[in-house]
Amino acid sequence: MRFAFTDDQLAFRDAVRVLLEKECPPSTVRAAWTNTTGRTTSAWTALGEMGVLGALVPEADGGLGLSELDVVLLAEETGRVALPEPFVEHVFVGAPLVASEATATGMMTVTAGDPFVPYADTADVIVRLGHDSFLVDPARDSDLTPRRSVDTSRRLFAVERGSSDRDLTPAEVSTAYWRANLGFAAQLVGLGHHLLESTVEYVLERKQFGVPIGSFQAIKHKLADVRIALEFAAPLVYRAAYSLTHDDPDQRIHVGMAKAAAADAAALAARHALQCHGAIGYSFEYDLHLWIKRVWALGAAWGDSTWHRDLVARAILDS
Amino acid sequence: MRFAFTDDQLAFRDAVRVLLEKECPPSTVRAAWTNTTGRTTSAWTALGEMGVLGALVPEADGGLGLSELDVVLLAEETGRVALPEPFVEHVFVGAPLVASEATATGMMTVTAGDPFVPYADTADVIVRLGHDSFLVDPARDSDLTPRRSVDTSRRLFAVERGSSDRDLTPAEVSTAYWRANLGFAAQLVGLGHHLLESTVEYVLERKQFGVPIGSFQAIKHKLADVRIALEFAAPLVYRAAYSLTHDDPDQRIHVGMAKAAAADAAALAARHALQCHGAIGYSFEYDLHLWIKRVWALGAAWGDSTWHRDLVARAILDS
Amino acid sequence: MDLTWSAAEQAFRAEARAWLGANVPTTPLPSGDTREGFALHLGWERKLFDARWAVVSWPEAYGGRDASIWEWLLFEEEYYRAGAPQRVTQNGIFLLAPTLFEFGSTEQQDRFLPKMASGEETWCQGWSEPDAGSDLAGITSRAERDEAAGGWRLSGQKTWTTSGAFCTHLFGLYRTDPTAERHRGLTYFLVPLDSPGVTVRGFGRLDGDEGFAEVFCDDVFVPDSLVLGEVDQGWKVAMATAGSERGLTLRSPGRFTATTARLVELTKARAAADPLARQRVAQACIDAEAYRLQTLATVTKLSEGRPAGAESSLTKVFWSELDVSLHESALALLGGEAELDDSPWMKGWQFALSGPIYAGTNEIQRNVIAERVLGLPRK
Amino acid sequence: MDLTWSAAEQAFRAEARAWLGANVPTTPLPSGDTREGFALHLGWERKLFDARWAVVSWPEAYGGRDASIWEWLLFEEEYYRAGAPQRVTQNGIFLLAPTLFEFGSTEQQDRFLPKMASGEETWCQGWSEPDAGSDLAGITSRAERDEAAGGWRLSGQKTWTTSGAFCTHLFGLYRTDPTAERHRGLTYFLVPLDSPGVTVRGFGRLDGDEGFAEVFCDDVFVPDSLVLGEVDQGWKVAMATAGSERGLTLRSPGRFTATTARLVELTKARAAADPLARQRVAQACIDAEAYRLQTLATVTKLSEGRPAGAESSLTKVFWSELDVSLHESALALLGGEAELDDSPWMKGWQFALSGPIYAGTNEIQRNVIAERVLGLPRK
């Protein structure tokens, strides 16, 4: 029994953290709100060069052939910096699904979504999941209807099915769902930690009534609650990664638990972060909302907490 | 438009408050936990002499012929002092149902319940509501199975139907339900106010870290939340009383709203009162728990908040 | 207790409903927190004013109908029910006007109220400063006496000023007695934003609309005639405004009743059979009704000349958190579509999140409830 | 990461499960918080001890099995899973013993640990006083030096002492330096309750059982050999106990996993199709699993000699509020029968409500999290 990551896994996490701190500062996230792609270019390239984009692609296909357990912390890091890229869509879903040298290196970007597909306009391959799950024929010009997300960096599109598109097998669909939700759960934990840390910084420096507002019990207890929620959400996410890696029969339950807990913890972090920041956090020029809106978007994408709790309930009660 | 009580209604309320302060101090409530009846004797007699027990009985039958609007504040007062008597059961349900000189004066006590009937052993007439609603034939000896409530003063009994018992008409049943829930909602508001007031007193006098604990924001905000919940539950209760009095077509919705809000507000008051009192409030010798346990009992009796919200939802969504 | 409306009140309601039915724009106006939207909203305000619906509770002389507070409630209910545009004049009409009626000279009332009602002059509130948010007593903007010119010279920065970029006037607090501390030595000024020395910079709110502004004053001259109330008594005057902001006038129940009705429709359309959604919508209806009834109780007291009580803090916490939960419930119903920016619910959700922050954060309000209503010690 | 158990651990679990299956009383014992129940529970404790299941993680010399912390976790899981009786010896075994192992002399360990393990001697905690609850530094009970007799004379009142009326010994804090302030000048004493001058009065907890006691000391002589740790260092010693009380040892995940399993059964029986109940029970399973996993992470750190972190406060808030919500969900399922006193859920609910209060209220814990984990200012 050992519930902890290996030194290699932590070292990989640290390397990616260093890369992202350099390649994805808040200014880059903000820029993605207004640029043409909603993405970063340089961070994506750098992640490709490090091999991260092909982490789950078999070595035979030019990837690193790593496991969910090896990459879950990387997703958490991309959440921490609010990386505006189809990271989970490509690394957890698309690249392993369309395994090739090109997808492994990120020369080709694969995106995926349900109900809407982010970055479908700039991706090379589009996977649409939902009632009808299919892989868009790269040959045809995909007809895309843009939809605007509250997180403007997430360029969403409704994707119509074309006759030459191929159905995903049930196995492909479920792998995609559980891996995607694992990835989003990890990003939500990372987003939550950033929101907590930046709020702690703020309440330490912001003074009202002659003292830092962080000395008021109302602020202290809100942030303590966020810390508690994150403390107990993270292990569920890591456990889900372990279950997917080891093909645990209960892997769906574990992913459902992880997404529900992570989405709720991140939503709490977003809510309290905004309230503790007050009018400053409510200002568009201040970076806080970039993280808050990502939390709103990811919390509901691919099934919200209620949907995932329902999944857990079915496993517990109806079996 | 005037959403307020008349001076007469307030004067009646004040008179009953004075009576109850004299006849039902905490020592009386505590005594009812251990005495043979679970009741007060003297408070019941005094309320009878004042005419309160027959308030809803038509004048023709020797009652005061008053309306729900006239008595709702009286129920709130009985909640405030945690009166250990079948007050709602008799005044709101039983006495008007078995209208007579004897029930109007309280010479005869009528009790009612669903699923269990409180004080069935000391009442003269028993009304059982539920899947099967009937009035126990006073002639037969009712076979009663005692059940122990967490509020030991509430002597509960399961009542088996006898062949000579009479069915209640649908109209009698629904009148009984809406009036009972109005009465309990009012008592819950009264219980909540007492819990809040006694907790405010306590946190003003209790000192830790050299200051009254009432100066800590964590305590302040808990009690503020209780005050808010009671502030907005009470008008729903008064409105329900008005609707029953004027036979408003939406009276069931209004009673459902009142019971749900009052039960939730009182439950919050009980929870925070206990937490703010700490170990002292957790001690059986201290009176606080007498009120807390009454809240637990009444909150669930005759339908809990979820049941009543469901009722409201049916009216809003399925019509 | 009488929960029926008089014939006159019903007639008033009917007239309002008819007019709104005939005149409310069929396609919603663009957000009033954008420059273009604000201008379009002023057109609507003018229309309201010409039909004497802009300020129903005001004296006829100022463009009102001398409507009773009950009629005002009915009008608000109908206004929201009709889905009429947000009132871009509300900071003036709901925040400043009550103060003008209470503290203003006849000259000031005659000078400002009619143009406020017509929307010809629009007002923003100049209270918050970079270092004075929850703690308004931390205000450092100052006004220096100019005896010769018979007025004051204002300097300093206001910020988070709602609609500041689009308004013609600002009402704000400036420190006239630099030696006085905290709440003392502040004065309430009425400042034309075209005065020499004023610089206004609009900036975005959470939803990106330019709803906020910074207002810089650099030696701006304001004549004595534009001081509201007494010099150095600005705090007392401002608190009266805060009272009306937190209290009755700004957040009439109609707004939440209307939002709840929209939530009911959304639930019917999307999840009529889902017990979770049913519980949420039932709770929403219970809360909205509780808020409406509590307002009726307050209005009853006021109309009978009894004190409304220290309850504006209770009300503010309740409506602001109700508004948040109404939108939260709606977004939950939208599931994967919740994040779409073009839904009124996502827009409303972002606006609702400002409720627990502005007009005194809910943390401050809970302190006030604990201290003034429950009598707990300040420190 | 490896979430599998070794063959040895599985064998240990199997042995525990087999023994418990064969020996756990089929009809539950009466509450251990009554005099009769306490006595009956001691019988069970003796049985556990004789089979060397009483203190698995202790050295064999003291009646344990030198079990690893992992094996201890497995035993706890099996213990609760089997529905075995509450441990009336837990204040000694879980609160005092870790402190004795850390601060006690070999003589003290040899003298007290074996009889603690067998239940021959039972321990209660003497910390709280009428005016020292959350603020333990307010302790006024004092110990005066008796040089001649080579010991101390204790006076003062302790209260809310769990099981105080039934125990043979008390471990408590007394002020040995009257001039020292707050946390300084306290000493940790081991007090036989049959010492002359000791008066114990039991009183009821929320559920009416005699689970609490007041312990009065009137010039009670305690020899130097019964001082635990250094004189005037009692606070440091006591905090070690508080650590173990709030942290790992007292609240093993097994307890909540077992309660959750009972909630699942109740839901299946009463409301398997009710989506509200389904959401609640799912959340319960999520929380119980999160608690179990977070414990595994902590144990991994400890077993690898890495610091567990300042997380005992996080853990205490989480398990105590989880326990409350598990019982709240169960009572909701019982509806009109919820108020019945004979259901284990109503009994458990009342006990659960003590969780956010004792071992440092959750308000205090949240302060600790904010200040020590997040680094927010104390004042």
Tens of pLDDT, residues C203-227 = 999 999 999 999 999 999 999 999 9
Q: Does D342 touch chain B (CB under 8 A)?
A: yes
Q: How far is CA B292 from CA B225, B247, D1, in A?
A: 17, 33, 47
In contact, A94 and A111? CB cutoff 8 Å: yes
Contacts of B283 in chain D (CB under 8 A): 160, 203-206, 212
- pLDDT of amino acid D239: 84
Region D259-279: mean pLDDT is 93
Nearest to A187 by CA among A179, A39, A57: A179
A237 touches chain D (CB under 8 A): no
Among residues C121, C245, C311, C363, which one is catalytic?
C245
pLDDT band with cut points at 50, 70 and 90 for residue C246: very low
Nearest CA to CA, how far is B102 from chain C (Å)?
Answer: 31
Chain D, nearest residue to B149 by Cα = D340
Which residue carries 């605007």 as its tokens?
A148
Decide if B3 and C300 are in contact by the 8 Å CB cutoff. yes
> Is C36 considered catalytic here?
no
CB contact (8 A) between residue A239 and residue D314: no
In total, the C-beta contacts within 8 angstroms joining chain C to chain D are 8
Out of B212, B227, B233, the one facing C290 most closely (by C-beta) is B233
**Contacts with D293 from chain A: Cβ below 8 Å:** 3, 235-236, 238-239
Give residue C249's pLDDT: 61
Q: Cis peptide leading into A115, omega within 30 of 0?
A: yes
Q: What is the DSSP letter of A283?
A: B
- Kindly identify which residue of chain C lies nearest to residue A306, measuring between CA atoms: C332
| C306 vs C304: CA distance, rounded Å | 6
> Which among C352, A196, B235 is positioned nearest to D376, based on CA atoms?
A196
Amino acid A142: pLDDT: 80
Is the predicted pLDDT of residue D247 greater than 60, yes or no? no
* Pairing assessment for the beta strands B125-128 and B110-113 based on DSSP bridges: parallel
Q: Where are the alpha helices (DSSP H) in chain A?
A: 7-23, 26-34, 42-50, 68-80, 87, 95-97, 101-105, 170-205, 217-245, 251-277, 288-300, 305-317
Contact at CB, B116 and D336, closer than 8 angstroms: yes
Structure confidence by residue, pLDDT tens digits, A183-201: 999 999 999 999 999 999 9
For D:276-335, CB contacts with A below 8 A are: 278-279, 281-283, 285-287, 289-291, 293-294, 296-297, 299-301, 304, 311, 314, 317-318
Query: If 0-12 CB within 10 Å is exposed, 13-18 middle and 19+ buried, where does residue A164 land?
Result: exposed
Neighbouring chains to A with at least 3 Cβ pairs closer than 8 Å: B, C, D
DSSP states along B174-194: HHHHHHHHHHHHHHHHHHHHH
D279 touches chain C (CB under 8 A): yes
Q: Are A180 and A112 in contact (CB under 8 A)?
A: yes
CA dihedral A309, A310, A314, A317 (to 10 degrees): 70
B218/A216 touch (CB, cutoff 8 Å), yes or no: no
Interface of A with B (CB under 8 A): 216-218, 221
Catalytic residue (choose from D107, D245, D304, D311): D245
| pTM more than 0.90 | yes
Of C318, C370, C378, the CB nearest to B232: C318
Q: Would an 8 Å CB–CB cutoff place D276 in contact with chain C?
A: yes
| pLDDT surpassing 90 at residue C308 | no
ipTM: 0.96
| Tens-digit pLDDT profile for residues A228-274 | 999 999 999 999 999 999 999 999 999 999 999 999 999 999 999 99
Select from D2, D286, D365 the residue whose CB has the most chain A CBs within 10 Å, as the one to mutate to test that interface.
Answer: D286
**Cβ–Cβ gap C128/A208 under 8 Å:** no
B interface test, pick of A217, A219, A220, A276 with most B CB neighbours within 10 Å = A217
Determine the residue type at C338: A
CB D234 within 8 A of CB D141: no
Nearest-neighbour CA in chain B from A305: distance (Å): 21
**Packing angle between helix B251-277 and helix B305-317, nearest 10 degrees?**
150
**Residues of D whose CB is below 8 A from C275:** 274-276
**Distance to chain C for D280, nearest Cα, Å:** 11
Each residue's pLDDT, cut to its tens digit, for chain B (319 residues) gives 999 999 999 999 999 999 999 999 999 999 999 999 999 989 999 999 999 999 999 999 999 999 999 999 999 999 999 999 999 999 999 999 999 999 999 999 999 999 899 999 999 999 999 889 999 998 888 889 999 999 999 999 999 999 999 999 999 999 999 999 999 999 999 999 999 999 999 999 999 999 999 999 999 999 999 999 999 999 999 999 999 999 999 999 999 999 999 999 999 999 999 999 999 999 999 999 999 999 999 999 999 999 999 999 999 999 7
